[in-house]
Every structure is written in C-alpha cells, then in structure tokens.
Amino acid sequence: MAGIVHLIDHPLVQHKLTLMRKKSASVNSFTRLLDELSTLMAYEITRDMPMHTVEIETPLATMQSRLIDGKKIVLVPILRAGLGFLSGMRSVVPGARVGHIGLYRDPKTLGAIEYYFKMPSGMKDRDAIVLDPMLATGNSAIAAVDRLKETKPKSIRFVCLLTCPEGLKNFHDNHPDVPVYTAAIDQGLNDHGYIVPGLGDAGDRIFGTK
C-alpha cells in the first residue's frame, strides 16, 4: 500500500527553501529560514487537527467558537537536526508537548542506532508529529516511528523539509499508515546517503558544526 505524501509547494515555503539550499547561506540565516519555514509548514500539517468548541464573550455577544486541542499534540524531534523544526512549530502550537528521540546513523551501514527516548505521559490520547529535516535513506525515520508506535499514539505524521523517492518508498514500505509532509522531493541519494541536490548536512548547518 502506498502511503500519503503531502508536498507543501506554497510559494513562501519554496522561496525560503531555495535560500536555505544555497551553500553560501550562513548558520544564522539557515536557522532563521528554517524557523520561518517550519511555522509555515505547521499550517498545512495541522489543517485537520482535532478542535473543540468553547463559549466566549465578544464585546457584543456570547458565542460558541473553536479551539485547537493543542495539549493533545506531541511534537517529536529526532535529535539533533529535528530540533531545528521545533521553535517554529511551537510558535503556532504553543500548547504542544515535546518528546525526543535520539538516533544516530552508523556511518558504515547507514542504519539507525537509538541513544535517547523520552515521551510525555498519556501518549494514547495524543497526535504525534515527528520532525526531521531530511528523510534520506528513511532508516532513522523508520526506527523513530517503530519506537514511537510502541507508545500507541492516536495518530502519527512525519514532517521533513526534503526527501527523495527511495527514502519515501523505504519509509512507506514500513509505515504505510504514516503520512509524510515535505517541502520537496529531490532527485535521489548519493553514495553516502545524502540527498542530492539537497542542502548538505542539516544538523551541521543548523548548529554550525562543520
């Protein structure tokens, strides 16, 4: 079964992504653009989030109006590059809880190895949004979602900036029920498992560690 992919091709998202891809972008502008971009992507990702009705007083009348169930959302950055998505998303969903998954890629096998996992309580009532800028081989995304599913959240979405056909296929072969939200689907992977043309190592570009 093929999984669902939401390509967020809004001009503002594409414009900022182009600026981020440039190798001349400084750490400062890369992180600022990622912050802005994740806020814009949050609109699309939360489009069908559950809402509840509350009674409020406007200056003129009492009315029934709707609020998002922000506390039911758990944002799950995959460490460390996923952290770059966090503040932009939290600025639009401030009530969201945050869980962390620490994974690193074995440079030889490109397999994902877990070193940290911490989720808020009550996962069964929560909608999880997994954050990782690059869905490349798909191995760490698959491992993160495997682990997250053990906590039985109500729903899971996966958000990235960039992906590629082989990463998407690998991910959806393993998790056909998890929709992917992305700003671009690039050509493919190089021999080191990097997305081409991509934007390089997202973690290094966010944290200035190159």
Does 198 help bind ligand URA (rule: CB under 6 A)?
yes
- State the Cα–Cα distance between residues 164 and 187, nearest whole angstrom: 6
CB of 112 to ligand URA, least distance (A): 11
DSSP 70: G
Does 93 help bind ligand URA (rule: CB under 6 A)?
no
Q: Which two tokens stand for residue 199?
A: 């934007």
Widest pairwise Cα distance in the chain: 66
Does 112 help bind ligand URA (rule: CB under 6 A)?
no
CB of 204 to ligand URA, least distance (A): 7
CB of 202 to ligand URA, least distance (A): 4
Q: Which of 136, 144, 161, 168 binds ligand URA (CB under 6 A)?
A: 136
Q: How far is CA 2 from each of CA 46, 53, 135, 147, 174, rounded to the nearest angstrom?
A: 22, 35, 16, 21, 10
Does 166 help bind ligand URA (rule: CB under 6 A)?
no
- State the Cα–Cα distance between residues 5 and 176, nearest whole angstrom: 10
| Contact residues for ligand URA, defined by CB under 6 A | 81, 134, 136, 194-195, 198, 201-203
